[in-house]
Amino acid sequence: MMGMDDIARRGLVLFGCGHMGSAMLKGWLARGLAPQAITVIDHNPSDWLQAQEVRLNGALPEDPAAVVIAVKPQGMFDSLPAIARYGAAEGAGRSLVITVAAGIPLVAYERALGAETPLVRAMPNMPSSIGRGVTAIIGNAATDAAGLGMAEALLAAVGAVVRLEDESQMDAVTAVSGSGPAYVFHLIDTLAAAGEAEGLSRDLALQLALGTVAGAGELAQRADESPAELRAGVASPGGTTEAALRVLMDDEGGLGPVMKRAVAAAARRSRELADG
Protein backbone atom coordinates (compact mmCIF):
# COMPACT_ATOMS: atom_id res chain seq x y z
CA MET A 1 0.00 0.00 0.00
CA MET A 2 1.00 3.61 -0.54
CA GLY A 3 3.68 4.71 1.92
CA MET A 4 4.33 1.32 3.49
CA ASP A 5 7.62 0.85 1.63
CA ASP A 6 8.81 4.19 3.03
CA ILE A 7 7.72 3.10 6.52
CA ALA A 8 9.56 -0.22 6.17
CA ARG A 9 12.70 1.65 5.10
CA ARG A 10 12.65 4.61 7.51
CA GLY A 11 10.59 3.12 10.34
CA LEU A 12 7.86 4.62 12.49
CA VAL A 13 7.43 5.71 16.10
CA LEU A 14 4.36 4.89 18.20
CA PHE A 15 3.83 7.02 21.29
CA GLY A 16 1.46 5.17 23.62
CA CYS A 17 0.41 1.54 23.38
CA GLY A 18 -2.87 1.27 25.25
CA HIS A 19 -6.01 -0.17 23.70
CA MET A 20 -5.82 1.78 20.42
CA GLY A 21 -2.04 1.72 20.15
CA SER A 22 -2.02 -2.03 20.70
CA ALA A 23 -4.75 -2.55 18.11
CA MET A 24 -2.76 -0.62 15.51
CA LEU A 25 0.48 -2.37 16.39
CA LYS A 26 -1.15 -5.79 16.07
CA GLY A 27 -2.52 -4.78 12.68
CA TRP A 28 0.83 -3.53 11.42
CA LEU A 29 2.63 -6.68 12.51
CA ALA A 30 -0.09 -8.89 11.02
CA ARG A 31 0.33 -7.07 7.71
CA GLY A 32 4.02 -7.86 7.62
CA LEU A 33 5.69 -4.71 8.93
CA ALA A 34 8.94 -5.81 10.55
CA PRO A 35 8.97 -5.35 14.35
CA GLN A 36 12.40 -3.75 14.19
CA ALA A 37 11.00 -0.98 12.00
CA ILE A 38 8.74 0.11 14.88
CA THR A 39 9.85 2.11 17.92
CA VAL A 40 7.30 2.13 20.75
CA ILE A 41 7.40 4.60 23.62
CA ASP A 42 5.17 3.49 26.48
CA HIS A 43 5.85 4.15 30.17
CA ASN A 44 3.78 1.20 31.39
CA PRO A 45 4.24 -1.53 28.75
CA SER A 46 1.92 -4.52 28.93
CA ASP A 47 3.20 -8.08 29.03
CA TRP A 48 2.00 -8.47 25.45
CA LEU A 49 3.97 -5.44 24.28
CA GLN A 50 7.12 -6.60 26.02
CA ALA A 51 6.81 -9.95 24.23
CA GLN A 52 6.94 -8.29 20.82
CA GLU A 53 10.23 -7.68 19.06
CA VAL A 54 9.67 -3.96 18.52
CA ARG A 55 12.17 -1.37 19.71
CA LEU A 56 10.64 -0.61 23.11
CA ASN A 57 11.52 2.60 24.97
CA GLY A 58 14.83 2.87 23.19
CA ALA A 59 16.56 5.68 21.33
CA LEU A 60 14.29 7.52 18.95
CA PRO A 61 15.13 7.27 15.24
CA GLU A 62 16.32 10.44 13.56
CA ASP A 63 14.07 10.40 10.50
CA PRO A 64 11.08 8.04 10.76
CA ALA A 65 8.50 8.03 8.01
CA ALA A 66 5.67 8.46 10.50
CA VAL A 67 5.08 9.32 14.14
CA VAL A 68 1.79 8.06 15.60
CA ILE A 69 0.45 9.67 18.79
CA ALA A 70 -1.85 7.24 20.58
CA VAL A 71 -1.75 8.59 24.12
CA LYS A 72 -4.89 9.71 25.97
CA PRO A 73 -5.88 13.32 25.22
CA GLN A 74 -5.08 14.48 28.76
CA GLY A 75 -1.54 13.11 28.42
CA MET A 76 -0.90 14.23 24.87
CA PHE A 77 0.82 17.52 25.69
CA ASP A 78 3.18 15.71 28.09
CA SER A 79 4.39 13.74 25.06
CA LEU A 80 4.93 16.73 22.79
CA PRO A 81 8.45 17.63 24.02
CA ALA A 82 9.68 14.23 22.79
CA ILE A 83 7.69 14.55 19.57
CA ALA A 84 8.84 18.13 18.92
CA ARG A 85 12.13 16.90 17.47
CA TYR A 86 10.17 15.72 14.41
CA GLY A 87 8.33 19.00 13.86
CA ALA A 88 9.13 21.78 11.41
CA ALA A 89 9.70 24.16 14.32
CA GLU A 90 12.81 22.15 15.17
CA GLY A 91 14.03 22.23 11.57
CA ALA A 92 12.76 18.76 10.72
CA GLY A 93 9.20 18.21 9.52
CA ARG A 94 9.84 15.33 7.12
CA SER A 95 8.04 12.82 9.34
CA LEU A 96 4.28 12.54 9.04
CA VAL A 97 2.66 13.01 12.46
CA ILE A 98 -0.63 11.15 12.99
CA THR A 99 -2.72 11.70 16.11
CA VAL A 100 -5.64 9.64 17.35
CA ALA A 101 -6.11 11.78 20.48
CA ALA A 102 -9.77 12.80 20.61
CA GLY A 103 -10.89 16.40 20.79
CA ILE A 104 -7.58 18.11 20.00
CA PRO A 105 -7.60 20.14 16.75
CA LEU A 106 -4.80 20.28 14.23
CA VAL A 107 -3.99 23.89 15.12
CA ALA A 108 -2.94 22.78 18.63
CA TYR A 109 -0.31 20.48 17.12
CA GLU A 110 0.77 23.16 14.64
CA ARG A 111 1.40 25.56 17.53
CA ALA A 112 3.60 22.96 19.22
CA LEU A 113 5.34 21.44 16.20
CA GLY A 114 5.21 24.16 13.55
CA ALA A 115 2.63 24.81 10.86
CA GLU A 116 4.83 23.24 8.17
CA THR A 117 4.78 19.87 9.92
CA PRO A 118 2.63 17.38 7.97
CA LEU A 119 -0.14 16.37 10.37
CA VAL A 120 -3.09 13.99 10.15
CA ARG A 121 -5.85 13.93 12.74
CA ALA A 122 -7.68 10.60 12.99
CA MET A 123 -10.83 9.48 14.81
CA PRO A 124 -10.98 5.67 15.13
CA ASN A 125 -13.67 3.89 17.11
CA MET A 126 -13.87 1.02 19.59
CA PRO A 127 -14.34 -1.87 17.11
CA SER A 128 -10.82 -1.06 15.89
CA SER A 129 -9.71 -3.32 18.74
CA ILE A 130 -10.90 -6.32 16.67
CA GLY A 131 -9.97 -4.89 13.27
CA ARG A 132 -13.56 -3.86 12.46
CA GLY A 133 -13.35 -0.16 13.18
CA VAL A 134 -13.93 2.85 11.02
CA THR A 135 -11.53 5.78 11.14
CA ALA A 136 -12.01 9.28 9.74
CA ILE A 137 -8.91 11.28 8.79
CA ILE A 138 -8.13 14.87 7.85
CA GLY A 139 -4.76 16.41 7.10
CA ASN A 140 -3.45 19.94 7.53
CA ALA A 141 -2.24 22.14 4.68
CA ALA A 142 1.29 20.71 4.91
CA THR A 143 0.07 17.13 4.30
CA ASP A 144 0.17 16.07 0.67
CA ALA A 145 -1.53 13.17 -1.10
CA ALA A 146 1.35 10.84 -0.24
CA GLY A 147 1.01 11.71 3.44
CA LEU A 148 -2.72 11.02 3.43
CA GLY A 149 -2.05 7.75 1.63
CA MET A 150 0.48 6.74 4.27
CA ALA A 151 -1.96 7.58 7.08
CA GLU A 152 -4.71 5.62 5.36
CA ALA A 153 -2.43 2.61 4.92
CA LEU A 154 -1.46 2.63 8.61
CA LEU A 155 -5.00 3.09 9.91
CA ALA A 156 -6.46 0.51 7.53
CA ALA A 157 -4.79 -2.04 9.80
CA VAL A 158 -7.72 -1.60 12.22
CA GLY A 159 -10.60 -1.26 9.76
CA ALA A 160 -12.12 1.02 7.15
CA VAL A 161 -10.80 4.56 6.61
CA VAL A 162 -12.74 7.56 5.33
CA ARG A 163 -11.34 10.97 4.38
CA LEU A 164 -13.05 14.16 5.52
CA GLU A 165 -13.33 17.31 3.45
CA ASP A 166 -12.90 19.67 6.41
CA GLU A 167 -11.83 19.35 10.03
CA SER A 168 -15.12 20.87 11.16
CA GLN A 169 -16.74 17.54 10.24
CA MET A 170 -14.77 15.79 13.00
CA ASP A 171 -17.33 16.72 15.67
CA ALA A 172 -20.07 14.96 13.71
CA VAL A 173 -17.77 11.98 13.12
CA THR A 174 -17.11 11.82 16.85
CA ALA A 175 -20.86 11.84 17.52
CA VAL A 176 -21.73 9.21 14.89
CA SER A 177 -18.90 6.67 14.75
CA GLY A 178 -16.69 7.62 17.69
CA SER A 179 -19.50 7.46 20.26
CA GLY A 180 -21.72 5.26 18.08
CA PRO A 181 -20.64 1.88 19.47
CA ALA A 182 -22.10 2.90 22.84
CA TYR A 183 -25.44 3.57 21.15
CA VAL A 184 -25.39 0.09 19.63
CA PHE A 185 -24.47 -1.51 22.95
CA HIS A 186 -27.40 0.32 24.53
CA LEU A 187 -29.67 -0.89 21.73
CA ILE A 188 -28.61 -4.48 22.41
CA ASP A 189 -29.23 -4.05 26.12
CA THR A 190 -32.64 -2.43 25.70
CA LEU A 191 -33.74 -4.94 23.05
CA ALA A 192 -32.83 -7.78 25.39
CA ALA A 193 -34.66 -6.07 28.26
CA ALA A 194 -37.77 -5.71 26.08
CA GLY A 195 -37.61 -9.41 25.25
CA GLU A 196 -37.26 -10.24 28.91
CA ALA A 197 -40.36 -8.12 29.63
CA GLU A 198 -42.25 -10.33 27.15
CA GLY A 199 -41.38 -13.50 29.05
CA LEU A 200 -37.94 -14.57 27.77
CA SER A 201 -35.13 -15.39 30.17
CA ARG A 202 -32.40 -12.73 30.38
CA ASP A 203 -29.78 -15.04 28.88
CA LEU A 204 -31.96 -16.05 25.95
CA ALA A 205 -33.12 -12.48 25.29
CA LEU A 206 -29.52 -11.25 25.28
CA GLN A 207 -28.42 -14.07 22.97
CA LEU A 208 -31.20 -13.18 20.53
CA ALA A 209 -30.44 -9.45 20.70
CA LEU A 210 -26.70 -9.92 20.21
CA GLY A 211 -27.13 -12.27 17.26
CA THR A 212 -29.75 -10.08 15.64
CA VAL A 213 -27.72 -6.86 15.84
CA ALA A 214 -24.52 -8.56 14.70
CA GLY A 215 -26.24 -10.35 11.82
CA ALA A 216 -28.24 -7.34 10.70
CA GLY A 217 -25.13 -5.15 10.73
CA GLU A 218 -23.19 -7.67 8.64
CA LEU A 219 -26.09 -8.00 6.21
CA ALA A 220 -26.37 -4.22 5.87
CA GLN A 221 -22.67 -4.04 4.99
CA ARG A 222 -22.82 -6.84 2.42
CA ALA A 223 -26.17 -6.10 0.78
CA ASP A 224 -26.62 -3.97 -2.32
CA GLU A 225 -29.85 -2.56 -0.87
CA SER A 226 -29.90 0.49 1.40
CA PRO A 227 -30.80 0.08 5.08
CA ALA A 228 -34.23 1.57 4.31
CA GLU A 229 -34.79 -1.02 1.58
CA LEU A 230 -33.68 -3.84 3.87
CA ARG A 231 -36.03 -2.59 6.58
CA ALA A 232 -38.93 -2.59 4.12
CA GLY A 233 -38.07 -6.15 3.15
CA VAL A 234 -38.59 -7.33 6.74
CA ALA A 235 -41.84 -5.43 7.32
CA SER A 236 -44.79 -7.26 5.75
CA PRO A 237 -47.98 -5.15 5.50
CA GLY A 238 -50.07 -5.63 8.60
CA GLY A 239 -47.43 -7.81 10.24
CA THR A 240 -45.55 -7.77 13.51
CA THR A 241 -42.57 -5.76 12.24
CA GLU A 242 -44.82 -3.06 10.84
CA ALA A 243 -46.53 -2.78 14.24
CA ALA A 244 -43.14 -2.25 15.93
CA LEU A 245 -41.95 0.19 13.28
CA ARG A 246 -44.99 2.40 13.81
CA VAL A 247 -43.61 2.99 17.31
CA LEU A 248 -39.94 3.29 16.31
CA MET A 249 -40.66 5.59 13.35
CA ASP A 250 -43.02 7.96 15.12
CA ASP A 251 -42.25 11.52 14.03
CA GLU A 252 -42.08 12.84 17.58
CA GLY A 253 -41.24 10.05 20.02
CA GLY A 254 -39.64 7.50 17.69
CA LEU A 255 -36.03 6.46 17.28
CA GLY A 256 -35.29 9.04 14.58
CA PRO A 257 -35.88 12.17 16.68
CA VAL A 258 -34.20 10.58 19.71
CA MET A 259 -31.11 9.66 17.68
CA LYS A 260 -30.89 13.16 16.19
CA ARG A 261 -30.96 14.67 19.67
CA ALA A 262 -28.37 12.19 20.95
CA VAL A 263 -25.94 12.80 18.07
CA ALA A 264 -26.43 16.57 18.34
CA ALA A 265 -25.63 16.41 22.06
CA ALA A 266 -22.44 14.41 21.42
CA ALA A 267 -21.34 16.76 18.62
CA ARG A 268 -22.01 19.79 20.80
CA ARG A 269 -19.93 18.31 23.61
CA SER A 270 -17.14 17.50 21.15
CA ARG A 271 -17.03 21.17 20.11
CA GLU A 272 -17.00 22.27 23.75
CA LEU A 273 -14.07 19.98 24.55
CA ALA A 274 -12.13 21.21 21.52
CA ASP A 275 -12.66 24.80 22.63
CA GLY A 276 -11.21 23.92 26.03
List binding-site positions for NADPH: 57
- Return binding residues: 57, 70-73
User: How many CB atoms are closer than 10 A to CB 237?
Assistant: 5
Distance between the two ends of the chain, CA-based, in angstroms? 37
Distance of CA 15 to the CA centre of its chain: 16
**Closest Cα partner for 77 from 17, 15, 20?**
15
Please list, in sequence order, all residues whose beta carbon lies within 8 angstroms of the beta carbon of residue 99, skipping any fewer than 6 positions away: 68, 69, 76, 109, 119, 120, 121, 122
Question: Are the C-beta atoms of 12 and 116 separated by less than 8 Å?
Answer: no
Binding site residues for NADP(+), as ranges?
A: 70-73
